């Protein structure tokens, strides 16, 4: 599935919540809780996403020309946002990751939860995915 379709599916999932702030926030945190367990040994300086106020770790493996990501964060909302980015980018080729423009954040209303600090962190997370993709080309 391409990144545009994945983002459209995410938007559809959030539309069910009908802009209910509390339900949206709870759903976002639930998504973070559903991330695969991130091993402590991967919580290294090399895997940390710089520029995030929260602690965020991101690692990957390459299989058959596609990148597969795993990650973690020490805060629930950031972990939920990270889980959505992993959903969009994991299983894609480096070129597809580099060509992807994220639009689901605004379309889902998640931008309401993202103040200046989280906005910088979200950009830092997106950039880390793209840097990994660029180095894997």
Kindly list the catalytic residues.
52
Separation CA 128–CA 59 (nearest Å): 10
Separation CA 79–CA 54 (nearest Å): 9
Q: Which residues pair with 86 in a beta bridge?
A: none
Separation CA 48–CA 71 (nearest Å): 9
């Amino acid at each position: 599935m391409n990144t545009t379709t994945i983002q459209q599916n995410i938007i559809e999932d959030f539309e069910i919540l009908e802009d209910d702030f509390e339900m949206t926030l709870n759903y976002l945190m639930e998504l973070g809780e559903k991330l695969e367990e991130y091993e402590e040994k991967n919580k290294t300086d090399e895997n940390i996403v710089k520029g995030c106020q929260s602690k965020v770790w991101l690692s990957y493996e390459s299989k058959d020309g596609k990148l597969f990501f795993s990650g973690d964060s020490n805060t629930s909302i950031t972990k939920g946002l990270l889980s959505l980015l992993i959903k969009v980018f994991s299983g894609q080729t480096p070129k597809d990751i580099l060509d992807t423009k994220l639009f689901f954040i605004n379309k889902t209303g998640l931008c309401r939860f993202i103040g200046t600090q989280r906005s910088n962190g979200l950009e830092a997370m997106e950039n880390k995915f793209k840097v990994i993709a660029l180095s894997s080309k």
